[in-house]
Amino acid sequence: MVILVITVLIIIVGLFFIGKDYMRARNMIENAEGAMFPSNYDTEKNIMTYRGEAQAPSFRSKNWKWKHWFVVVTTLFILVIMGVVISQGPLFEWHNVVFLPVFFLLTLFNNQIPSFLVMPSGIYVDERFYRWNTLRSFETRPLKLGSNAYGLFENSSSYTEIEIKNEKEKSLFVYILNEQDVEELREILRQKGLRDDTEGLSEEKVSLDN
């Protein structure tokens, strides 16, 4: 009986987080029209994150359609499992529960839409929203050998890596191909009160060279 209760609770919590993740992505797409950066997406404006190429958020995009139907099918699958669990009752064994947390974690991790949006109130990075008052500093540098993203996508050495740090010193990364776009983003981040550590690094390098 204990195993049955634990299993049902895991399923309910898992469904809650899947639903929360789904609504988070939906809200991002609904808010995308108010983005300060990028103002538009085209084939020359390549913006990458760890999740892949950040394309224009849209309910017509392949990424959203995939996420939508994946959530629908996953939810139905989970409800079927719940029905099996309840029908078996005390006969349901603990080893059948082990895969559920792993399944939920893989579902949430592998179903994020690659995204980067700068909004008046904060930024979206791979669906997650960070308010300006939680962000502290940023740094830009060429994407070189040694970076975690080097070789992660085609022509990666031509990109600029932008590292944005929050109040907990956790780093958020975005990679931009066009140098003009990099400068536009830097200016917005400065205007929003983030410290530009790139300038400090440049001055330090000059002093060392002298």
Tens digits of residue pLDDT in 132-152: 999 999 999 999 988 889 998
Question: Which residues sit opposite 53 in a β-bridge?
Answer: 48
The SS3 assignment for 14 reads: helix
CA dist., res. 81 & res. 11, Å (int): 9
List the structure tokens of 112: 């994020």
Is the pLDDT reported for residue 124 higher than 90? yes
Nearest to 182 by CA among 116, 124, 131, 130: 116
CA 23 to chain centre: 14
Q: In what order do the strands lie in the sheet with 171-176?
A: 52-53, 47-49, 171-176, 160-166, 135-142, 195-196
Residues 169-187, mean pLDDT to the nearest whole number:
92
For position 33, what pLDDT does the model report? 87
For position 126, what pLDDT does the model report? 93
Count how many Cα atoms sit within 13 Å of the Cα of residue 127 in the half-sphere of its side chain.
21
List the structure tokens of 133: 């008052």
Percentage of the chain with pLDDT > 90?
Answer: 40
Residue 87 pLDDT grade (very low, low, confident, very high; cuts 50, 70, 90)? confident
CA dist., res. 172 & res. 97, Å (int): 34
Percentage of the chain with pLDDT > 70?
Answer: 79
What does the mean pLDDT of the chain come to? 82
Cβ neighbors of 198 (< 8 A, separation 6 or more) are 138, 139, 140, 141, 186
- Evaluate the CA torsion angle 27, 82, 12, 127 in order and state its sign: negative
Neighbours of 3 (CB within 10 A): 18
Residues 110-126, mean pLDDT to the nearest whole number:
91
Neighbours of 117 (CB within 10 A): 23
Residue 96 pLDDT grade (very low, low, confident, very high; cuts 50, 70, 90)? low
Angle at 177 between CA 175 and CA 178, to 5 degrees: 125
